[in-house]
Amino acid sequence: MSLSYKTPGLIVTDHSFTVPLDHDAPQGETLEVFARELALPGGQERPFLVYLQGGPGYEAPRPVASPPSGWLGRALQDYRVLLLDQRGTGRSTPVGALPGRSAQQQADYLKHFRADAIVRDAELIRQALGAERWSILGQSFGGFCSLHYLSAFPESLEAALITGGLPPIDRPVEEVYAATYRRVLERNRTFYARYPQARARVRALLERLESEDVRLPSGDRLTARMFRQLGMGLGMSDGLEKLHYLLDFPPDSPAFLHDVQASLPFPRNPLYAIVHEACYADGGVTGWAAQRTLPAEFEEDPTLFTGEMVYPWMFEDYAALAPLREAAEILARHPWRRLYDAEVLARNTVPAAAAIYANDMYVEREFSEQTAAQVRGLQVWLTNEYEHNGLRADGPRIVSRLIDLAHGRV
């Protein structure tokens, strides 16, 4: 089903597609996947660029600028852009508590929301739209999806562009978290060096949260370990400042409590907590790797904020996640299939380019460089000019550079 309409400076077509929950059992349960096609007036026949959103568990961005700006405005100069609400997000069939299903049934449902299923959805959509091949732009987790696309369906791709999202190949998830924890520690040190007055404030807040029942607007009790998850934003270019100004509010104020809640996105995006570790699993079992590899520094110094990691206790502290606690335990023991085919990537012929951010807190630079070396023809732009949100901070430059790299113009 499709619906076309105009907004200032854009021709918009909303698409809805029916896809199997399990692509290996296409006659079984189905989902709806939503995608929004954008084109400049007169650009409706341009080739497709599919945007694969970061996350996991987040919908594609909504175009609000008029005319379109940022990376989207630049991309529309060359392409029609398809903003894909990956399965379980946005206007696609939502993932919530899954009432009426046993824990095992919930886990059997939720195991179908990794990059491999997202890419197979995209392939069905490509065929439905009549595109022989198309290009992809993957940001963060969208880069994980892009690398799987290059592994599984390279013949469907005109070009692959990746920013802040070249995942490790065939590397134990414990090593991934050990590396990213080191980056989180670095960002904590940078934060407290820039705002030394914040440490006493954080310590006082933590002591209060341990001794008092402080409630968020959602009704959840704000625990000390939840509060420390505010560090998940420290790897963005504006992350230090956002945390500083959040801590600047009086702790009893509605502004403080509402902003803390808004900075902890797990109730709004439960899929993130469910499949985050699994997205790093290029085969094997994750077994709550982030919890198992938590460095001693975080135990010894409670003022250290944690990063994007997911922990089993979250399915107790967040009421919205509690109905999925047993399913999450099952998935932590689930043997995941491989996501990347090293042999196919070594023979790659798809024009491809990736921006690797030297100090990325979320996707370890060393592992990304090792992956890049395994993808034939992949052009790399290694830069320390940006943090993980480079595409949002300076999208036109990054998209232009990746397009030029992929097509041999740099």
Q: What are phi and psi of 383, to 5 degrees?
A: -140, 145
Whole-prediction pTM: 0.96
Retrieve residue 155's tokens.
């013949």
Identify the CA nearest to 260 among candidates 249, 271, 269, 270: 249
All structural domains of the chain: 2-101+111-170+338-406 (3.40.50.1820), 173-332 (no CATH)
The pLDDT > 70 percentage for the chain reads 100
All residues at 6 or more sequence positions from 336 whose CB lies less than 8 Å from its CB, including other chains: 114, 278, 281, 283, 284, 285, 286
Q: d(Cα 368, Cα 406) in Å, to the nearest integer?
A: 17
Catalytic residues: 140, 360, 388
pLDDT tens, per residue, the chain with 410 residues: 889 989 999 999 999 999 999 999 999 999 999 999 999 999 999 999 999 999 999 999 999 988 889 999 999 999 999 999 999 999 999 998 788 999 999 999 999 999 999 999 999 999 999 999 999 999 999 999 999 999 999 999 999 999 999 999 999 999 999 999 999 999 999 999 999 999 999 999 999 999 999 999 999 999 999 999 999 999 999 999 999 999 999 999 999 999 999 999 999 999 999 999 999 999 999 999 999 999 999 999 999 999 999 999 999 999 999 999 999 999 999 999 999 999 999 999 999 999 999 999 999 999 999 999 999 999 999 999 999 999 999 999 999 999 999 998 87
What's residue 152's pLDDT?
A: 98
Q: d(Cα 407, Cα 161) in Å, to the nearest integer?
A: 11
Q: Crossing angle for the helix pair 173-194 and 239-247, nearest 10 degrees?
A: 60
What's residue 193's pLDDT?
A: 98
What's residue 67's pLDDT?
A: 85
What's residue 66's pLDDT?
A: 83
